[in-house]
Amino acid sequence: MRWVLLVVLAGCFPRPSDALLCGVTADCEGGRTCDQGFCVVAPDAGITEQAPPLDDAQVISPPPDTAPDAPRPCIGGDASSTDGEGNCFVAFRAAATRKTRAAAQLACGAEDMNLAIINSAAGNTTVQSLIIGLDSWLGATDAVTEATFLWPDNTPLAFTNFRAGEPNNGDGNGQEDCLVIEGARGGSWDDRPCGLVLSYVCSF
């Protein structure tokens, strides 16, 4: 009867093959504790193995962002529109925003644009539709060489729409070095004194 009792009690302990025998926790290694004569892992000890560090060949980098940038929307100012050739024009018509030619160029630059560059009849028609009734600054000037107009990017005029008799540099009445589009004359061009305060058109 005593032998049977020992067998039953032995079933309550870890098998000797699972753990070392011990008298106190100091007899155990590897973070184990002595529990009822056997070295066992404490329930909350959690012995874990750390994964070896990855070498450079095993490190997986995220794929590069290959999505194309969205096109910049053609918005801003008091009115804006594209010319069908990929150019956006933004008009500033309000009396409170009118500027000299130099100040207008700075204002356009602050918006990552240029004072308007028009290289086609389609562009001229688009700008005219934005500034009806108003003379407005465009980007060209002949301040460096008289009668040789250049856009803000230093390219020459590939398209012109000067009114008959223009440009005339003031016709002896004062220097006129800066280009305007005449909103009240169907979009014709004229050279004017750069210090006038006018509405203006930016482009990108």
Torsion of CA 195, 152, 95, 125, to 10 degrees: 120
What is the structure's pLDDT at 52?
60
- For residue range 87-98, what is the model confidence (pLDDT) as tens digits? 999 999 999 999
Select the CATH number that applies to the domain covering 79-203 from these four: 1.10.3720.10, 3.10.100.10, 2.40.30.10, 3.20.20.70. 3.10.100.10
Q: Determine the residue type at 72.
A: R
- The domain segmentation of the chain, as residue ranges, is 14-45, 79-203
What is the per-residue pLDDT for 165? 93
DSSP letters, 97-114, are G-B-HHHHHHHHHHTT-E
Provide the pLDDT for residue 3. 45
Q: How far apart are CA 7 and CA 191, in angstroms?
A: 114
Beta-carbon neighbour count of residue 79 at 10 Å? 15
Between CA 149 and CA 142 the distance in angstroms is 4
Q: What is the pLDDT of residue 174?
A: 78
pTM of the model: 0.65
Helices first, then strands: H and E counts in the chain: 3, 9
pLDDT, block means (10 residues), the chain with 204 residues: 42 47 76 74 55 59 65 94 94 97 97 96 97 97 94 95 92 88 96 97 97
Cα–Cα distance list, 149 to 128, 143, 163, 177 (Å) = 20, 8, 15, 8
Would you state the pLDDT for residue 69?
Answer: 78
What is the reported pLDDT for 60? Answer: 63
pLDDT for position 170: 77
Q: Which pLDDT does position 22 carry in this prediction?
A: 76
